[in-house]
Amino acid sequence: MFFDKILSHDKKEQRVIENIREHIKLLCTACNTFRLGIGKNNRKLINDVAELERKGDSIRREIISNIYNGAFLPYLRPDLCKFVEIVDRVFDLIEDAAFLYLSMEIPEHANREENKASFFMGIPEPVKNECGRVTFLNVRICEMLLITFEAMLKGEDLSEKTLAIRIYEKKIDDIKFNILEEIRKIDIDNFWEGKIVSDFIAAITRVSDIIEDASDHIQIISVSMR
């Protein structure tokens, strides 16, 4: 076991890194699929998000199992595991948002007959564009997380990358406040309709907060190994 570890060089670690990379890439795909699903009002794409979340779960389990099977120094293991768990929380949020989107009813004021073919779900019209912008920025912030992770692996300076993530997060926060102002003007017919819309907005705007936490954690991992 001891000599295996010395002779195998960093094979176990490379496998974990490869899996983490795949996990973040899958997150980018999930965010993009969600964005496209909303943009095209495509139920199939939205359903695919749940499938991607399950795949992400399986990769997360593999990463954690490999880490506790001896990859990396024990000093680093908790931080790596925590990073993976944080990324997994984003998957959960995107999946929640997808389910909430699917359970949204077409608002009473919309023309149901007209919307049936192409518009079977409904984000309230006054905030629809803003929600679209948030999902677009969510894809960008996930891609930035992948770039930050790659930079950390190479031992590069992370300050610019984490700054970019913070800027994206700030942008999304600003959009969130606009949405919250707009959404008050919308007539809600019943409690559940309002709650689903509110939860949906909360879910898509929280993604950036969690990605920011993940990028902070990348910074911690980087500093702790320097």
Per CB under 8 A, residues contacting other proteins are 1-2, 5-6, 9-10, 13-14, 17, 72-76, 152-156, 221-222, 224-226
DSSP type of residue 104: P
Of the pair 76, 180, the CB lying nearest other proteins is at 76
Least distance from C-beta 221 to other proteins, angstroms?
8
Output the DSSP codes for 122-148. Answer: ---HHHHHHHHHHHHHHHHHHHHHHHH
Cα–Cα–Cα angle for 32, 38, 43, rounded to 5 degrees: 100
Asked if residues 27 and 56 have their Cβ atoms less than 8 Å apart, the reply is yes
Of the pair 167, 223, the CB lying nearest other proteins is at 223
Least distance from C-beta 9 to other proteins, angstroms?
6
How many other CB atoms are there within 10 angstroms of residue 193's CB atom?
Answer: 19
Least distance from C-beta 156 to other proteins, angstroms?
7
Least distance from C-beta 77 to other proteins, angstroms?
8
Of the pair 6, 117, the CB lying nearest other proteins is at 6
- As a dihedral over the C-alpha atoms of residue 205, residue 57, residue 20, residue 166, rounded to 10 degrees, the angle is 10
Of the pair 154, 184, the CB lying nearest other proteins is at 154
Of the pair 38, 145, the CB lying nearest other proteins is at 145
Least distance from C-beta 152 to other proteins, angstroms?
7
Asked if residues 189 and 93 have their Cβ atoms less than 8 Å apart, the reply is no
Asked if residues 45 and 36 have their Cβ atoms less than 8 Å apart, the reply is yes
State which H helix or E strand residue 4 sits in: helix 2-7
